[in-house]
Amino acid sequence: MKFRLVFILFLLGFFSTQIFSQNNYPLVSVPQTHDRDIPNGWLLGGSNPQDYAVGVDLGEQVSGYASAYLKSASSNPVGFVTLMQNFKANNYRAQRIKLSAFVKTRYIGGWAALWMRVNDAGGKPLSFDDMRDRPLIGSSEWTKIEIVLDVPPISDEISFGILLQGRGQIWIDNVNITIVNNDVPVTDVLKNKEENYSPKNLDFEE
């Protein structure tokens, strides 16, 4: 009888802990995915990828039968992770290109983004956009995201992908890179960066 009472108290304590965890942080409610590790042709990078999980999800897609995802693997992930690709810029030099993809987010507590970078042969970025001015946060259904960059004649390599910093999950599907006309505005954070040649708003009244 005593053993049965102890066992019942143990079960009550266990389930109450699980309920508290779900109320404390909704990440545990993220749908289970079918992990197949890093998708073929993609690379995993970032400052701390060990705090995150990557895989292919057969239950979430815009079209076809699968999408890829990144998600936090701990309650307090450190740094960021990116699922990415690199390719030579030869076929795109002196042209303007658009990266488009459908993304879905769930419980993003930090931020997530689609990104693209164009480097020269020395690894210096010539154009770059990581959506820092329009980060993905919280939860959203499948949404088409676009990034537009110029590829200068001296370009050597183009990199692109999705990134996740902090808790949550992001899915990506239907990635596409196309050449566009020069009348399509670029989203380049380097080119669109406002240069300051004098201090501003020193009296905090602007």
Instruction: Walk along the chain (206 residues) and give the pLDDT tens digit of each residue.
Output: 544 444 444 444 433 443 333 333 333 333 334 444 899 999 999 999 999 999 999 999 999 999 999 999 998 999 999 999 999 999 999 999 999 999 999 999 999 999 999 999 999 999 999 999 999 999 999 999 999 999 999 999 999 999 999 999 999 999 999 999 999 999 999 986 655 657 777 778 77
Domain tally, the chain = 2
- Cβ pair 172, 102 in contact under 8 A: yes
What the block records as the tokens of 46 is 């970032």
Q: CA-to-CA distance for 2 and 83, rounded, in angstroms?
A: 53
**List of long-range contacts for 46-50, beta carbons under 8 Å, 24+ apart:** 46/79, 46/80, 46/81, 46/82, 46/163, 47/79, 47/80, 48/77, 48/78, 48/79, 48/80, 48/81, 49/81
Query: Within this chain, do residues 56 and 20 fall inside the same structural domain, yes or no?
Result: no
What the block records as the tokens of 24 is 């404390």
Within the chain, residue ranges assigned H as helices are 2-24
Classify residue 194: in a domain, yes or no.
no
Q: To the nearest 5 percent, what fractions of the chain are helix, strand and coil?
A: 15, 45, 40
Bridge partners, 103 (sequence order): 143, 172
Classify residue 198: in a domain, yes or no.
no
Classify residue 144: in a domain, yes or no.
yes
Query: Within this chain, do residues 21 and 62 fall inside the same structural domain, yes or no?
Result: no
User: Considering the entire predicted model, what is its pTM?
Assistant: 0.77
Query: Within this chain, do residues 58 and 154 fall inside the same structural domain, yes or no?
Result: yes
Residue range(s) defining the domain that contains residue 17? 1-29
Query: Within this chain, do residues 15 and 44 fall inside the same structural domain, yes or no?
Result: no
